[in-house]
Structure 1
Amino acid sequence: MSDKPTYMDCWHFIAPLIPVNTDYTMDIYIMVFNALKEAEKKRIAEKKGGRKATHDT
């Protein structure tokens, strides 16, 4: 484990704080998870030096 938190470390911290008692809050829970999961994938790819272009310039 690194001394710097990862996006998934943040997820494990914040997930219990999100109420999931309605469809609306369940959607928020899922959206936050997916956003942090994607951010973690990008962080790992950039760390490996395999950064992909997101658009053509």
Structure 2
Amino acid sequence: MGLALDEPDEKDKVVRINEIQVAIDPDIEPYTDNLTLDFNQDTNGLVLLGNESNCC
């Protein structure tokens, strides 16, 4: 699973979370429950946290 700063594909589910438009690929949507987007200062990048039990 990864992150991208792209325009949504036509098959993506588009939702608004905290006033931010987010596109989610339907193939990975079941794995996105209880995830948190965070900023990692060590790597200076965005990371997804949580939901380890459903990880691929």
TM-score, reference length from structure 2: 0.19
Whichever structure has more helix as a proportion of its residues is 1
Please, what TM-score do these two structures have when normalized by structure 1? 0.19
